[in-house]
Amino acid sequence: MRNSVFVSIAVFCLLATSCASSIRSGCRQTETVPLTRTDIPPVIEATDSLQTFDVEISFFGKRLNGMLLVKRQDHETVRMLINSYFGMSMADFELRADTFAVHYLLDAMNKPAVVNLFKNDFELLLGFHLPEHFTALQSVCSYPEKLISVETINGKFQYRIDVENQNITRIKAPGLSVEIPYGAYPRTITLKHCGIFSPTMVIKEMK
């Protein structure tokens, strides 16, 4: 019994450590600032033009590869499709400020926990997860970066932002870390989830 408790604690600590981030490294001079949603640049800027990305989703030792298609349908609605390279539909989502609709999802992924994961990921990447107006902590970091920390009803979100080009380079969110190395080509977005499920999603702009 003691051994199983010890193993459980060790696994929990390992997961917590693996999900920890040095996102605050080199940051100082923190101040409270009023911000709006547009002050935090989205990782993916949805536009009227169709955007195409390579996407790889890894979970439970399996990998799904395909294309992520993103397009803004109107001022409030963004559509996201995930297709295989052979044209087979794997997922079809519609995102609004207050709703996340699943039009289609492969049976293997059509589980409440997976749907919620996609919902949270796309809200984060497209900038739908923050309120219109909020108060945040802003810190000066190693040039040319700043750190913005926001407390929401869904937890704490931290953004490392390059102030010269207003690009997010890292995000630390509840149960999730996101990395977008600046200057990498093609631009690559890596989402790593924490916990037992712990899927990883890698999104790359198509060359």
Question: Tens of pLDDT along 82-107?
Answer: 999 998 999 999 999 889 999 999 99
pLDDT exceeds 70 at position 80: yes
pLDDT exceeds 90 at position 51: yes
Mean pLDDT along residues 146-172:
94
pLDDT exceeds 50 at position 161: yes
Mean pLDDT along residues 9-31:
63
Predicted local confidence at residue 135, as pLDDT: 96
Question: Per DSSP, which regions of the chain are E strands?
Answer: 28-36, 51-59, 62-72, 78-83, 89-95, 100-105, 133-140, 145-152, 155-162, 167-173, 176-179, 188-193, 200-205
Mean pLDDT along residues 190-197:
84
Report yes or no: 105 and 91 within 8 Å, Cβ to Cβ: yes
Query: One-letter amino acid identity for 32?
Result: T
Per-residue pLDDT reduced to its tens digit, 115-158: 999 999 999 999 999 999 999 999 999 888 999 999 999 999 99
**Sequential DSSP letters for 145-181:** EEEEEEEETTEEEEEEEETTTTEEEEEEETTEEEE--
Predicted local confidence at residue 185, as pLDDT: 86
Per-residue pLDDT reduced to its tens digit, 130-139: 999 999 999 9
pLDDT exceeds 70 at position 10: no
